A = this chain, B = another copy of it.
Amino acid sequence: MTDTTARGGAGPTRGTRRMPRAERERQMLAVAEEVFAERGYAGAAMDEIAERVGVSKPMLYEYFGSKDGLLSACVSRVRTELLDATRRAVAGAPTPEEAMRRGHLAFFRFVDDHAAAWAVLLHESRVTDGPAAAAIDAIREQQTGFIVELLTAQKPDVPRRELEAYAQLLVGASERLAVWRTEHRVSAKRATEYLMNVMWTGLGRLAAI
């Protein structure tokens, strides 16, 4: 009754092409990353993302559950790529010092290549409270875990908790330095040197030189 126009259906399925789940998912992620980067998390509308993909909004919810979930998926992808990049960079280093240098250089270069996405995906990741926050924390742990792994190899006698503190500290420092250096047009190489100066050599030692 009530004359609901009872025409929920799709009509001629408009211009949309059907697609297997995995492919559509990848496509959605790519578009979402773009829109989040352009407009920021709050500014990005699910309607716009859906429209750009060429699909209706409920599809996004079908695949990612919520706006939060969509952001979370984007962040996961970027972070995973980042971890790969740094792992590769560190792999062939002859000394621990060189490993740290190469790792950070790779990090800064990665941020260069993913600048827009980085700014939003990682800096606004605390926007949420739901599953995304948890997922993001998990990924951060993956990151610091990697560093702890490297440090442990070098100093097996230092307590794990202490090494974890160092890892957290490194991540925080390099994230902020990454933001600062893009704003001030400082090269990745130079930024890495600054970081090594403080982190490896130590400020106290610098004074002595």
Task: Please list the residues of chain A having a beta carbon within 8 angstroms of any beta carbon in chain B.
Answer: 40-43, 96-97, 100, 123-124, 126-129, 154-155, 158, 161-162, 164-166, 168-177, 179-181, 184, 186, 191, 194-195, 197-207
Contacts and interface: CB of A to CB of B under 8 A. Distances in A.
**Interface residues of A, dominant DSSP:** helix
Contact of A155 (B169, B200, B207): B207
Contact of A172 (B97, B158, B174): B174
A16 B97 CA distance: 64
Given A41-B127, A42-B128, A172-B175, 16 more contacts: A100-B203, A123-B126, A158-B206, A164-B184, A165-B191, A168-B176, A168-B177, A168-B180, A169-B195, A169-B198, A170-B173, A172-B173, A172-B177, A198-B199, A199-B202, A201-B202
Contacts of A202: 198-205
Given A155-B206, A177-B168, A194 B124 contact: no
Nearest to A123: B126
A207 B176 contact: no
